[in-house]
Chain A
Amino acid sequence: MSPGLQLVGASYRYAGSSRPALSDVGLTVLPGRVVGVVGANESGKTTLCLVASGLAPVAIGGRLDGSVRVDGVETAGLAPHRLAQLCGMLFQNSLTQLSGATATVFEEVAFGPANLGLPVAEVVDRVRWALGLVGIDALALRDPARLSGGQGQLVALASVLALRPRYLILDEPTSELDPAGARSVADVLSRVAAETGAGILLVEHKLEILAGIADEVVVLEGGKVALADEAATVLADPRLAGLGVEPPAGVRLERAVVGAGIEWSAAMAAAIR
């Protein structure tokens, strides 16, 4: 069994569409590693998340060619509740990710484990563990409908973690957050990868976040992988802007400094990190 979430030659087209949204995508997310995904709008990032999580085609239909494997197991044909325990998926909008049917954050996080019919003791254990891991124990008794965007996203993350998936797939989890909220989510993701050994596939527009936590970065263009390498290499790649992705501020600053004829030092790089 080869460990990792692997997409091999994965192509996907939505039901009713003649054009593939993903074409021949290959990537691997190893346990404990964070793989960032960037790309211009309509480049296939959300589709990649749906395919990697197995929701496409299992839950939304469409046609998948190639294969998606989790630790060697083909996800095609697995029931959604089995997939949920292999790959947890976090969507952009925390409001729609939450069930809308619970009175407290504790019960919201318990929603997934309760769906599995686990014993009460196990459900409670999982909820406490997930709340602690994400650092939101203090929100446990709050009404999920009355949280800020950042808090809601952390609750949604804890809800996914409570299913104890081996891999996490996150589709722009900081898109609706202010800088402090985005940093908070990024810190939690680093901790989750380090403490649980979960592999993380993270679609993110804020490249400063990827620069801080991603081990590798994949750039999508038109549903295909245009660049893929170690994070530092990809984020400094001069082709990035041509692919519709603005390089991180640090890279732009370095280029400006070097362009002005000033020597870029390691101390400068450390200072902006």
Chain B
Amino acid sequence: MTPATEAPVLPDYILRIPTGTFRGLNPLTKLVFAAAAAIVAFGVRGWTGPAVAFVAVVVCGALSGSLRRMALFSLASLPLLVSILVVNTFLYPGAHDTLVVIGPLTATWSGATAALQGLLRVVAFGLSAALFALTTSIDDLMVELERRGLGRRGSYVVGSALGAVPRTLERAREVADAQRGRGMDTEGGPLRRLRGLVPLIGPVVFGALGEVEERAMALEARAFTAPGRRTILRALPDSSRQRMIRWTFLVGSVAAVAASLALPGRLP
């Protein structure tokens, strides 16, 4: 086969350099920020950890213009938040400082405080994950992880796993439509909807497994297992300033947790 020869200039739609105050950061910087926020939210005791993480994430969310979508994203954790609130407020072990009595249940101040702290931790973590997901595209993350030496298999697993979620949802919708076309009732009350799930599970799961097998062969046919490093077409911007920020986040979050553990009662 005789190829034509042209100048190796990458078009703009391949380079896709992210722009914006927070969005324009290197994906690794955003990933480290999200991890540091989670470490601080869950690792630093009292109100300080979750409050600092929450404020930091909200400020970055506002800078990136994603605050509204982050809030919608974090609605997914609503059942968890409700259970944290109820269980801690009413069933906090060893607490006797009654806040209010509702029938056989007694809400305590200690329980309510622990519940609100736990709630803030989960919200801060959820928002940090949402911020990362909303400001970083999957392929940007894959490019960066691969450039950092994760390897083609590792980065492909990360990327295809993230990409598999919408694909699986789409397949489930197709199967549900097909089942409805054959007379299955998937509308109505919760019990009826639950029954409607059963005939979806087989086609979706086995279809996905079959797809994995075919895709594995197709990847072999496209030299995926070739030795050595893959060619990386895109290079995302990074800087010594961002490297310093990443180390500061990492070291700072671990130090904050260590300080919180070493100095109990000194932080609010």
The residues of A with any CB-CB pair to B shorter than 8 Å are 50, 53, 55, 58-60, 79-81, 83-85, 88-89, 91, 93, 95-104, 106-107, 110-126, 128-129, 132, 140-141, 145, 159-161, 163-164, 166, 196-198
Contact = CB atoms under 8 A, between A and B. Distances in A.
Interface string B217-241: 1111111111111111100000000
Interface string B197-222: 00000000000000100111111111
Given A84-B221, A117-B230, A141-B11, 4 more contacts: A96-B215, A96-B218, A112-B223, A120-B10
A88 B221 contact: yes
B152 interface: yes
B14 A114 contact: no
B217 A107 contact: no
Contacts of A160: 221-222
A123 B217 contact: no
B218 A115 contact: no
B139 A101 contact: yes
A101 B226 CA distance: 17
A115 B2 contact: no
Interface stretch (B45-53, B73-81, B156-164, B260-268): B156-164
Given A81-B225, A116-B226, A128-B6, A104 B231 contact: no
B230 A114 contact: yes
A106 B14 contact: yes
A128 B225 contact: no
B189 to A, nearest CB: 34
A85 B224 CA distance: 12
Contacts of B83: none
Interface in B118-162: 137-139, 142, 152, 156, 159-160
Given A96-B215, A103-B139, A129 B3 contact: yes
A252 B261 CA distance: 85
B52 to A, nearest CB: 35
B8 A124 contact: yes
**In the A-B complex, the 7 residue pairs with the closest CB atoms:** A121-B8, A81-B226, A81-B223, A196-B1, A96-B214, A129-B3, A112-B222
B193 interface: no
Contacts of A159: 222
A104 B220 CA distance: 21
B4 interface: yes
B49 to A, nearest CB: 36
Interface residues of B, number: 45
Contacts of B159: 101
B167 interface: yes
Interface in B153-198: 156, 159-160, 163-164, 167
Interface in B80-109: none
Contacts of B2: 196
B4 A132 contact: yes
A55 B217 contact: yes
Contacts of B16: 103
Given A106-B11, A118-B231, A198-B1, A84 B223 contact: yes
Interface string B6-20: 101111011010000
A115 B223 contact: yes
16 contacts: A50-B217, A59-B216, A80-B224, A91-B218, A97-B215, A98-B218, A99-B219, A100-B163, A101-B138, A104-B13, A106-B14, A107-B14, A114-B230, A117-B231, A122-B8, A164-B3
Given A59-B217, A141-B13, A117 B226 contact: yes
A106 B232 CA distance: 13
Contacts of A123: 8, 231, 233
B5 interface: yes
A200 to B, nearest CB: 12
A89 to B, nearest CB: 4
A113 B215 CA distance: 17
A119 B181 CA distance: 51
A58 B230 CA distance: 22
A115 B227 CA distance: 8
A29 to B, nearest CB: 15
Given A91-B214, A125-B6, A141-B13, A100 B221 contact: no
Contacts of A119: 231
Contacts of B139: 101-103, 107
A23 to B, nearest CB: 23
A173 B4 CA distance: 26
Given A113-B231, A114-B233, A117-B228, A106 B223 contact: no
A218 B205 CA distance: 37
Given A84-B223, A197-B1, A125 B8 contact: yes
A172 to B, nearest CB: 13
B4 to A, nearest CB: 5
A121 B3 CA distance: 13
B217 A129 contact: no
